[in-house]
Structures are given as C-alpha cells and as structure tokens.
Structure 1
Amino acid sequence: MALLLQLFFAHKVTALSILADMYKKRLIEDKEVVIASIVGMFPMGVRVVVLLLAPVAISVLGLKLGIIYVLLEVLSKFMVALIGVFLDRKYLAGGVLEYITNVSLKNSMLDAFKQFFKVLSILVPSIFLAMLLIDLSFNSLVSQISIETAHLLIVVTGTTSTIAGLGVAGSLIATNEVDGKSALLLLMIASALHRIVESLRFSMPVNISLFGSFGVRLTLILLLMNELASIFAILGLFLIINFGFV
C-alpha cells in the first residue's frame, strides 16, 4: 500500500496502470483495487493542491480565502482516504506482495511543468472572459432565469475547469461582484459538478482501457467518493463560516 500511495502522488495513471497489471495477474482482486484507489485519492489530492491549486488559489483569492480553499480540498480528501483505510482494515487480510516497478522522477517533473503551463493557458483566458462578459452587461441576459451573473460564471467555468473557476472567482471578488463566502461555496459546488465531467471525459476511458468492464464500476465508485469529499468540503466551509473565520 505504501508503494501505491507514492505512485498515486507521482502520477494517477502510473498508479492505476500498476494496479491494473496486478489485477490482471490476479495478485489482487476487485475490492483491493477499489480500496487502494480510494486511499490513493489523498496523495493525488495533495499533488494537485501543491502543484496546481495552492499557487493559483492563494494568488487569485487572496491569502486567507486561498488557504481556506486549499485546506478544505486537502482535508476532504483525507476524510475519504480514512474511509478507505477503514475498509482496508475491515475487509482485507494482511499480506506481502512481490512486485517490481520503476517510477521515473524525470517524467514526473516534466509532467509538473506541463501542468504549470496548462494552468497558465486556462487561467489567463478565463479571467479575461469573465471580465468581458461583465462589461458586456451579461447581467440582463441571465436575470431572466433569476441567477446572478457572478454566481453563474463561477459555477459554469468551475464545472469545466477548476483553475478557470478559481480565476473567475478571484476576479469577481476583486471587483466586489461576489463576496468571499459565496465564492468559496460556489467553487465547492462547481468542483462537485466538475468531478462528474472529469469522470466521464477522462477517468472512465482510462479505467475501462486498464480494467475492462470493471473500469466502469471503479469509475462510479470513485465518483461517489469524490462527491462525498465535496460534501465534506461544503460542511467544513459551513463550520468555518459559523465560527466566524470568513
């Protein structure tokens, strides 16, 4: 399990590929793949936060809101990982597997740089688009369906891309179109919707290619766990608001 956690931190597809290889060689069963993937959500979440979300969130939302957003992301994934650990202790017997693999540090670093430039390519246009829509009086269009423009922009952009959602939220906070509490809540809602999009667009094709028909079930289970993480994050946000930290 320790090796797999390191692999999930290095790269999700690498870890899943090794799980798939072990699964095909019958070294592990369905439930072991599921539990390992659930626990792996935490190191994956930490990786995404460190390389992508933390720098963007703190820079566009400000130090206080950015840290709150990052902490909610990490802690929600940690809570879900604890569920995976509980399932591991309850349903899986202990044992030792002999499995040899190599993970390239160079490839991991190259991937990190690719992710960084991908962030820039999404963040700058999304902020520009948000401000353009506001300047073009997009408010009058969405008022017909009783949704504030700022709220709609955050949810729509955040559903397609978390980075874009953060960029738009930061711009709207800076122009006083939305307050910090609302922005954080809307980002959490957008994140929950984004996970559905990501599962259909990326996770399901990858899982099916690696695990066959079992990949569909694995994707659905992990989607449910990701949505549970979103619920934990929203509940955590309400607690933070009630205690007056925002």
Structure 2
Amino acid sequence: MTLDIFFQALGNLEVLVFRILPIVVLGIILGNIIYELGLIDKISVLSAPIIKFANLPKESGLTLVTMIASPAASYSMLSNFYEREILDEKQTVVTTFTNTFFAYFRHVFTFYLPVVIPILGLKTGLIYIFVRIIISLFSTLFGMAVGHFYLNLEDSSLEFEDIGENRSNGTIKQKIIEGFKKSKPTLRKIVPRLTLVYVLVAFALVLDLFEPIGRLADPITTLIGLPGEASTVIIARFANVTASFVLAGNLLNSGILGSYEVIATLLIGSLFSLFTHFLKTSLPNKIAYFGTNLGIKVALYNWVISTSFILIITFFLYFLM
C-alpha cells in the first residue's frame, strides 16, 4: 500500500519535471537576458498604460506581457526580479494583482471559446465568458488602483534608473552570457523550493487530503436557492473542470437550470475550486517562487481579491435568477 502511494505521487510529479521546471528555468534565464540586453523598454510598452497608472517599473510590464504566453514563465521572471532586488516587495505584490486579466485572457482562446461555448451553448457560454472577463478585469483594475495610490511614482522611476546601471556593457554575446550567470543564484533558490513543494502536494493529492472541502457545497446552494442538482456541478468542479461544464450543460438543456442559474452555479463551484487551488497550487507555488513570507502574502491577497469579486458578481446574478 505504501509503495502504491509512493508510485502514484511519483506519477503526479511528471508535470513538475517535464512541464513546470523547464518553463521556470527558461523564464528566469530569458528574463535576465532581456534585462541585460536592455529590451525591457521595447517589450513592456504593450502594458505601458497599466504600469504607468499603477506606478510600476517596466520590469513589471515585461512580466504582465509574458503572462499571456505562460504564467509559469511570468512568475519566474517576477521572482527573479524580486530576488535581484530590481523590484521591492510592494511592487511585486501589486504586479501580481495587475496580472489577473492577462492570466485569464490566455484561457479565453485555449479553453473557453473552443470548450465552454459548445457545451453551454452560444448565449450562456458567451455570458459566462463575459462574466469571467469582468471578474478578472476588476481584479486588475483593483491592482492598478492600489499601485496608483499606494506606490510612489518618483521612487519607482528613480529605482528603475538606478538598477539600469547594473546591466553589463559588453557585446550581445557577453550580455547573454551575463544573463545566464545572473540566473544561477535565483535558480539555486527557486528550483529546490519548487521541487519540495510539488513533492508535498503530490502526496497530499494521493492521500485525498483536499477531499473534505467538497462537502461544503450543499449548504451554499441551499442558501442561494439553487436546485439540489446544482451541487453535483460544484462537486464535479473538484474532480475536473470540463466535467463540471458538461454537467451544467446537461442541466441547462434539460431545463432544470436556467442560464443565470448555470452561471451562478459555475461561479460558486469556482469559489470552492479556487480555495482548493489556493491550497494545492497557488500557495505552494507562490512560496516556491517568492519564499515563505512574501509567497503567503501574494497567494492570500490574490485569493481574497478573486473570491471577493466572484462573490459580488454571484450576488448580482442572484437578483437576475
């Protein structure tokens, strides 16, 4: 039995070895090379309105743009800039607030349009996608507001100019080599932390330590006034996201739930899955990227913000049902 648990956990680590770690290493090295080559100005221009309003330096803009391509690479770059003291703690936290929309936007084309709309239908599917976009946009706007009123623009600009002097002045080849060299200290910190965290989570998943959270769904659906069948969608969300959409689509097509009830049910399911995601993925990952102190802050703050906006939108939908 013990060996079965061990091998199951080992199987869960394939994602870390073959997908997560390579992207993390690539993100850190690429971020340092871009920094040494002085390309941050050119790339971060895509996020210029956001970082300007939020009083964030251009390194933050680079991580925002990268988020569309790969969250792992984006957070790797962000943690690298933090470890090298290019970004301070406040700037790092605010950057994680503002990247929410970018993180969600990438899923619109890879999951929501090709998967959700065929399952829920054009009308309900588009409404759901629109609601999720609004929630992620609110989170980003909140981050921009926090940066605008909480961060000091003059200090941020000054700091950016000062750290620019730390870049190497050699040829392109020398700058690339310097980028690799400056990646080593960050990699020595992050890779062991990331590995340890994924090992612990892999065993927790095999032992079903997160399963009891799913039993909290029934009282919530009763409180909001959703049919009992809605709880099956919420429970399914813990096992598989696509499965929860398939169940919701079936309840919609059979007339048991209406469009807004389906959307509210899926949002409630996302609340519970967001909490399990916080425990299983977000908290461990952020600790691995930023260390215990800052990692807990980043994960907790972002969970509270996302949960708050989902609750607000769900409460609004309650009056439309």
CA deviation after TM superposition for structure 1 residue 58, in Å? 1.0
Look up the SS of the partner of 1:188 in the other structure: helix
Specify the alignment match of 2:235 in structure 1: 156
1:223 and 2:303 aligned: yes
Inter-partner Cα distance in structure 1 for 2:93 and 2:113: 28
Residue ranges of structure 1 left out of the alignment (5+ in a row): 103-141
Q: Residue deviations 1:46-67, cap 9 Å, x none? A: 1122211232221111111111
Cα distance in 1 for partners of 2:73, 2:309 equals 23
Letter in 2 for 1:198: H
Q: Write the mapping of 1:77-226 to structure 2, written as runs, cut at 5 A.
A: 77-92=136-151, 93=153, 94-95=156-157, 96=160, 98=164, 148-213=227-292, 214-226=294-306
Corresponding letter in the other structure for 2:148: R
Aligned to 1:237: 317
- Cα 1:31–1:160 change in 2 (3 A) is farther
Q: CA deviation at 1:222?
A: 1.0
Within the candidate set 61, 70, 75, 2:120 is matched to 61
1:20-58 Cα shifts (integer Å, max 9, x gaps): 111111111221111101100110011122211232221
* 1:17/1:210 contact within 8 Å kept: yes
Give me the TM-score of the superposition, normalised by structure 2.
0.57
Task: Indicate the SS of the match to 1:26.
Answer: coil
Query: Quick one: percent identity of the two aligned structures?
Result: 21
SS in 1 for 2:99: helix
In 2, the alpha carbon distance for the partners of 1:159 and 1:225 equals 21
The 1:63–1:71 alpha-carbon spacing in structure 2 relative to 1, beyond 3 Å, is same
Q: Alpha-carbon deviation of 1:223?
A: 0.6
DSSP 3-state at the match of 2:149: helix
Q: Which has the larger radius of gyration?
A: 2
Output one character per residue of 1:197-233: Cα deviation in whole Å (capped at 9) or x when no partner. 1111111111111111121221111111110231243
Deviations 1:154-189 (A, max 9, x none): 111124443221111002212223222221111111
